[in-house]
Amino acid sequence: MHAALITGKHQLELVEFPEPEPFAGGAVVDIDLCGICGTDIHAYQSGDPYNPAICGHEWTGVVSALGADTSRLAEGDRVVVAVPPSCGTCEPCRAGHARYCAASFLVAVGRDPYAPPHGGFAPRLAVHASRLVPVAAGLTPEQAAQVEPATVSYHAVRHTAPTPGELAVVQGAGPIGLTTMQYVVAAGAGTTIVIEPNEARRQLALAVGATLAVTPDEAAATIAELSRGLGADVVYECVGRPETIQGAVGHVRRGGRVCIIGFTHQPATIEPSTWLVKEVTVSAALAYTYDDFDRSMGLIADGRIQLDPLHSNTVGLDGLDAALADLASGSSPHTKVLVRP
């Protein structure tokens, strides 16, 4: 069996692995679809060391085999990848911080003892059953394959929720920005502005519920006009570039909130005096918790979160290299590309 791994800058390799076998407490999942994540694109662009366990971590599939002591699932179940529930025994859990369970975090970053040697850019893989959540009734395979990144957005909005009627700004209209915006609307925001340089993505933002979609050059004037000069109540930073961190603080009103969702490895230059004068609250949201998945899927299943418009292409493993190069170019017409391995 071959799995695709990003092994260097602009390098994708098909690596041969033995057929996965279910271990005690685990399951083998036949991968139906796996999404290409922004972290996959970053690894392909940069060549930075990339954990093979998370190279393709947005997958859905069907349970094809179960190990001993695995009773919660059955062969034939449709599942999405998640993180396990909090363990209850690590130091954060024992201190009452189960939301920050160390064991669950290790799973999220592919560093746990059961981490597979490759991700979902493969026909099959074996994982611990605690990572698997049944697909909500009515979700298509294409929607199920987008549950993992959508749940990242759900977790962020749950962490920093808008008050009903507030003016919210979302920086970036990639898959995370577009789903974040929809959860913000579902949470009750009054006006939602998306900032995005790409015209096609601005139109997509409007199609899935944004009040306005503007270019970065238009953003300051638009926010000032709609807020009577105050600034946004809450800004969600979904771009993940150093310069957009300070930009998010620049758009928020005094006493407002900024939630950092976009991930960057590079240092960011900030203006502490602006943060101080504005008394801005800056929070960050990474990944998700186990219970986020059912809640996120519920909003997708009832139609409040639209994922179909985001999915623009599906490729096989033989088309993955070209798809990564296209997405890494910065000029791709695609928003969400799925891989059928």
pLDDT of residue 264: 84
* Strand arrangement, sheet containing 167-171: 212-214, 191-195, 167-171, 232-237, 252-260, 281-284
* b/e code 33-52 from CB counts within 10 Å (16+ = b): bbbbbbbbbbbbbeeeebeb
Query: Which residues 6+ apart lie within 8 Å of 108 measured at CB?
Result: 83, 286, 287, 288
Q: pLDDT-based confidence at 265, cuts 50/70/90?
A: confident
Q: pLDDT-based confidence at 287, cuts 50/70/90?
A: very high
Asked whether residue 182 carries a pLDDT value surpassing 90, the answer given is yes
Asked whether residue 291 carries a pLDDT value surpassing 90, the answer given is yes
Asked whether residue 6 carries a pLDDT value surpassing 90, the answer given is yes
Query: What gap in Å lies between CA 261 and CA 340, rounded to an integer?
Result: 27
The β-bridge relationship of strands 212-214 and 191-195 is parallel
**DSSP, res 71:** -
Query: Which residues 6+ apart lie within 8 Å of 334 measured at CB?
Result: 312, 313, 323, 326, 327
SS3 260: strand
pLDDT of residue 197: 96
Chain segment 79-121, per-residue pLDDT in tens: 999 999 999 999 999 999 999 999 999 999 999 999 999 999 9
From residue 264, give the alpha-carbon distance in Å to each of 202, 276, 287. Answer: 22, 23, 14
Q: What is the DSSP string of 74-86?
A: -TT-EEEE--PPP
- Structure pTM? 0.96
Asked whether residue 10 carries a pLDDT value surpassing 90, the answer given is yes
Domains 2-146+307-339 and 153-284 share a fold: no
Asked whether residue 253 carries a pLDDT value surpassing 90, the answer given is yes
* Percent of the chain predicted with pLDDT > 90: 96
- CB-side exposure of 251: number of CA atoms within 13 Å? 31
Chain segment 203-247, per-residue pLDDT in tens: 999 999 999 999 999 999 999 999 999 999 999 999 999 999 999
Average pLDDT rounded to a whole number, residues 280-286:
96
Please report which residue ranges of 145-198 form alpha helices under DSSP H: 147-159, 175-186
What CATH code would you report for 153-284? 3.40.50.720
Average pLDDT rounded to a whole number, residues 22-48:
95
pLDDT of residue 71: 86
Nearest residue to 235 via CA among 257, 255, 216, 250: 257
Find out whether 63 and 73 touch, Cβ atoms under 8 Å.
Answer: yes
Question: Domains of the chain: which residue ranges?
Answer: 2-146+307-339, 153-284
Asked whether residue 330 carries a pLDDT value surpassing 90, the answer given is no
Asked whether residue 200 carries a pLDDT value surpassing 90, the answer given is yes
Asked whether residue 331 carries a pLDDT value surpassing 90, the answer given is no
What CATH code would you report for 2-146+307-339? 3.90.180.10
Structure tokens at 46: 């940069």
In terms of Cβ atoms closer than 10 Å to its own Cβ (0-12, 13-18, 19+), residue 254 is: exposed
Question: Which residues lie across from 281 on neighbouring strands?
Answer: 257
φ and ψ of 312, to 5 deg: -120, -10
